[in-house]
Amino acid sequence: DAKTTQPTSMDCAEGRAANLPCNHSTISGNEYVYWYRQIHSQGPQYIIHGLKNNETNEMASLIITEDRKSSTLILPHATLRDTAVYYCIVRAIQGAQKLVFGQGTRLTINP
């Protein structure tokens, strides 16, 4: 079962920052936070992951609260191509742990 809670849908204007929240209040100390997204008719695509420090890559930034009970994925300058379902997933550090997807957030970028 998914261990995260995300809003069902969100809208953002093109060119603005998209901030996608995720609640993972039961996260354990040995679990990472992962973000994937799924564009229509495609398979999920990895975005970013983190343990407790904020992370940034070419796609997005991940802000994890100090208590690790929630996080925010930030797309700094959203484009129409960022319209997708965004999944926040927690996954244990040890072993070959599977990714358990929830319902995700359907993000729509408007022109």
Partner 1 sequence: EAGVAQSPRYKIIEKRQSVAFWCNPISGHATLYWYQQILGQGPKLLIQFQNNGVVDDSQLPKDRFSAERLKGVDSTLKIQPAKLEDSAVYLCASSLAGRTGEKLFFGSGTQLSVL
Task: Name which of 21 and 102 has its Cβ closer to partner 1.
Answer: 102
Task: Name which of 29 and 43 has its Cβ closer to partner 1.
Answer: 43
Q: How far is the CB of 27 from partner 1 (least distance, A)?
A: 14
Report how far apart, in Å, the C-alpha atoms of 96 and of each of 4, 6, 52, 92 are. Answer: 20, 25, 20, 9
Task: Name which of 14 and 55 has its Cβ closer to partner 1.
Answer: 55
Q: Which residues bind partner 1 (CB under 8 A)?
A: 2, 32, 36, 41-46, 49, 85, 87, 91-104
Is 70 in contact with 20 (CB distance < 8 Å)?
no
- CA-CA-CA-CA torsion sign (84, 59, 33, 13): negative
